[in-house]
Structure 1
């Protein structure tokens, strides 16, 4: 395996900081980030709006992304999506 083929297998992770924004803004920011990425890339969305627990998984399903993981930490709700998979 060459260095360039190894690099192509590493997915890009982009963070979308939507803390303090109310829906639909976290979804709109996530959608904008997803459109700029190649399939297989990952987006980490961090937000504080409780409705994101419904809106982000719905966005992932309708736009054909995979919800890899989600959770909460001390300052945000987070979602990890794999783009176009």
Structure 2
């Protein structure tokens, strides 16, 4: 996987805040750069899948580590 260009900490936030923070983070990146989003909201797994489909940004990776959900998006 490429180097993460930016990381957004959305832990403790519930939908739709992690998506909004991700959107803001992606806006600061160049096309092709990676954004990692850290979440504690279990619903974020489905939310980020839908977000990627709707926006055309690639969902490169999703992981669950303990009670955290890690999403990696590639800016289109």
TM-score (norm 2): 0.90
Q: What residue in structure 2 maps to residue 45 of structure 1?
A: 37
CA distance in 2, matches of 1:32, 1:38: 13
Root-mean-square deviation (Å) = 1.4
CA distance in 2, matches of 1:78, 1:24: 16
CA distance in 2, matches of 1:35, 1:64: 13
Q: What residue in structure 2 maps to residue 82 of structure 1?
A: 74
Q: 1:13 Cα deviation (Å)?
A: 1.7
Segments of 5+ residues of structure 1 without an aligned counterpart are 1-9
Describe the superposition over 1:32-75 as per-residue Cα deviations: whole angstroms up to 9, x where unpaired.
Answer: 01111110010001101111011111111111111111111124
| Count of equivalent residues | 75
Contact (CA 8 Å) 2:4, 2:36: kept in 1 or not? Answer: no
Q: Which has the higher strand share?
A: 2
Question: Partner of 2:73: helix, strand, or coil?
Answer: strand
